[in-house]
Amino acid sequence: MEPRRTPRPHPSYRLLLALLAPLLLGYTAWQALRERSLRYLRERCGFFRPAAAQRPLWLHAASVGELNAALPLIAALLDKTPAPALLVTTATPSSARLAAHKLPPQVSHAFLPLDFAGAIERFLAHFTPRCAVVMETELWPNLFAACARRAIPLCIVNGRLSGRTLHAPAWLRHRYRDALVDVGAILARSEADRDGFLALGAVAERVQVIGNIKFSAALGASADAAALPRPYVLAASTRDGEESLLLQAWQATEHGDRLLVIVPRHPKRLAQILRSLPLPRAQIAVRSADERITGQTAVYVADTFGELAAFIAGAELVFVGGSLVPRGGQNVLEPAALGKAIVFGPHMENFADEARLLLAHDGAFQVGNALALATALTALLQAPQRCAQLGANAKQVVESRRDTAQRYAEAVSALCGP
C-alpha cells in the first residue's frame, strides 16, 4: 500500500513566500493605514475575533468582480444552508465595502488571510469551515493544502484561467498543478476553461462545465435610468489610453445633440482622463465635481462609484471599455441583461466566450479600431430599430441562462452536503 500523501506546498513556494513576506506585509499595512482599518490588517494576518458561527459553508470571492458574480450563488445557497452557517471572505477593502452593502445581514464576512501557513491555519482553526467554495481563479497552495489536511471539501466555482496563468513559467505552473491536486471539484464556466484546467494538471474526473455564473449575476442588475438633460451614448468601464480614442471616434460620429458619457473603470484616473481629452475644459462636465451639463458640454465624465447600472439603463447604446486598447475588455453581460445595444473593440480576451456568444446571436457589434467605431455609432444612432433589436437579442442570450447560479448551488451542495 502506498503511504498516504500529506499535502504540503513545494519548498520553492515556501521559499518564495518567505522572500516576499516583507513586501506583502508592508503592502497590507499600507492598505490598512490608507483605509484606516485595523481589522483589515489583523484578519489578513490571520487574527480574528470570536466567530458568529462554527462549521460554516465558506465561500471566497477575492475582489469586487468575484463577489458581484457570487451574489446569486449566495442567494441560492441560502435556500439550502442554514443562514448563520454561511461565511463569505474577500481580500480587498473595496470588496468588503460591497459585502457590507450587498450581503444579507445573516451572512458572516471576514478577510481571507495572506497565503502564509500560520495565518491560514489560524483562519481554519477559528472558523472550522465544513466546506470551501472558491470563486474563479484563486489558486493558493498553502490554503488548498491546509484544507486537504483537515479533510475540508474544496471546490472552484465559475472556474476560469487567464492566458497569463496558462503561460506562466514552468515552475509556477507546477505549483498550480500541486494546488489543483487538493481540489475536490472544479466547476468551470466553459469548455475552454475546462481544457485549461486539464492542461494545468487537474484530474479530469473532477472537472465539469456548468456555465458562466455572471449570466445569473447580470439578471440581478436593475437601476433607474440616470437623469441627464440630453440623450447620450455610454462608454462603460474605460481604461488607460482609451478615452482619447473614444473622443476621436465621437468627433467623427454623426451624433446630433447627444452626449458622450464616460464612466471610467477607475475613477481615481480623473486627472489623467482630463489631460487626455483635447477639448476646452468648458466642454467637459465632471460628475464628482457636481458640474452641470450645458449646451456646450460634449463629454460628461461620471467618475463616481456605484452608478454604472443607472448610466447603462439610460443610454441609447453602450460601448464596453477596455476593448479599444489591449486590456482584455470589461463585462458585457450587464448591458446585455438591461437590453442595450452593445459595441466593443477588438480586445475582448477576458470575456471572449461572452463576446462570441453575443455576436453569434446578433446581440452585439464588434469594431476593429476607433475609425470603425465612429462608423458603427453613426449607423446605429440613425437606426433606432436596429439598436432595439440588438438589445433584445442580447437580453434573450442572458435570460436563456438565468438558472446558472442554481445549477452551481446544486453542484456545491452535492460536494458539501446539506
* Contact residues for 296 (Cβ-Cβ < 8 A; gap 6+): 282, 283
CATH number of the 232-399 domain: 3.40.50.2000
Ranges of CATH 3.40.50.11720 domains, the chain: 33-212+403-416
Question: Which residue among the candidates 2, 35, 43, 66 is catalytic per the annotation?
Answer: 66
Q: What are phi and psi of 62, to 5 degrees?
A: -60, -50
| CA 114, 146, 102, 237 torsion-angle sign | positive
What is the Cα gyration radius of the chain? 23
Look up the CATH architecture of domain 33-212+403-416.
3-Layer(aba) Sandwich (3.40)
Nine-digit cell string for 306: 456605484
CATH 3.40.50.2000 range(s) for the chain read: 232-399
The total number of residues written for the chain in this structure? 418
Active site residue 66: yes
Residue 130 burial (C-beta neighbours within 10 Å; 0-12, 13-18, 19+): middle
Q: What is the pLDDT along the chain (418 residues), one digit of tens a residue?
A: 344 557 778 788 889 999 999 999 999 999 999 999 999 999 999 999 876 667 899 999 998 889 989 999 999 998 876 555 899 999 999 899 999 989 988 899 999 999 999 999 999 999 999 999 999 988 899 999 999 999 999 999 999 887 788 888 888 888 888 889 889 999 999 898 999 999 999 999 999 999 999 888 877 656 788 989 999 999 999 999 999 999 999 999 999 999 999 999 999 999 999 999 999 999 999 999 999 999 999 999 999 988 999 999 999 999 999 999 999 999 999 999 999 999 999 999 888 889 999 999 999 999 999 999 999 999 999 999 999 999 999 999 999 988 999 999 999 998 887 6
The C-alpha angle with vertex 337 and arms to 374 and 310, in degrees rounded to 5, equals 75
